[in-house]
Amino acid sequence: MKILEIMGVIFFGFVGQMGCWSLMMGGQAVTTLENALIIHATGAPFVFALLSFIYFKKLNYTKPLTTAAIFVATKSLWISSSFPFL
């Protein structure tokens, strides 16, 4: 796999993380933290499903399990770098 292919998958993972961030920030702006977490928990799978659909239609560099693992790793790295005390 070429470096550009890997960067494409990682880019989609970060776009998904930005979608999750938007859900949380938008939810917290208009409602309580608890409701924002519920919105995030229900909306995040749809964000990543839409991104996966677009990724597999346009690029399709990796297999589905590999793509899911990269998406999870990208989100985990983002969270661990945002909250180093966890």
pTM: 0.84
Neighbours of 35 (CB within 10 A): 12
- Cα separation values, 64 from 15, 28, 68, Å: 17, 32, 6
Phi-psi map region of 60: left, alpha, beta (phi>0 left; psi -120 to 50 alpha)? left
What per-residue confidence (pLDDT) applies to 67? 92
What pLDDT, in 10s, does the model give residues 40-66? 999 999 999 999 999 999 999 999 999
Residue 76 pLDDT grade (very low, low, confident, very high; cuts 50, 70, 90): confident
Measure the CA–CA gap between 8 and 26, rounded to whole angstroms. 27
What pLDDT, in 10s, does the model give residues 9-26? 999 999 999 999 999 999
What per-residue confidence (pLDDT) applies to 54? 95
- What ranges do the domains of the chain cover? 8-80
